[in-house]
Amino acid sequence: MEIAFEKGKICFEKELSELDKLVLRFVKLVDSVQIDYVIISGYIAILFGRSRGTEDVDLFLEEMSFEKFNSFWEKVVGGRI
């Protein structure tokens, strides 16, 4: 896998798994409410091609106001992911 670093992003090509598609939909939702986040732990290994016994995705989210969280939650329960 060829990896490039461009404008603060890691870029590479791979066929997306169902887990990758879920993560992309979820972070699009998080981005839409302007919540800062970082993906950590096991999914990063999966993303770069390593097999893992579990397919969990861990994130750190910024501390946020109730209003921002509520806006995010409304999108989650509204099924817009």
The pLDDT assigned to 69 comes to 93
Note whether residue 8 is domain-resident.
Answer: no
Average of per-residue pLDDT values in the chain: 84
Domain count, the chain: 1
Q: Is residue 54 part of a domain?
A: yes
- Residues 46-62: pLDDT tens digits? 777 777 667 778 889 99
Q: Cβ of 75: how many Cβ atoms within 10 Å?
A: 15
Q: Do the domain assignments include residue 6? A: no
| Predicted model pTM | 0.72
Supply the pLDDT for residue 79.
66
Q: Is 55 within a domain?
A: yes
pLDDT tens digits along 28-38? 999 999 999 98
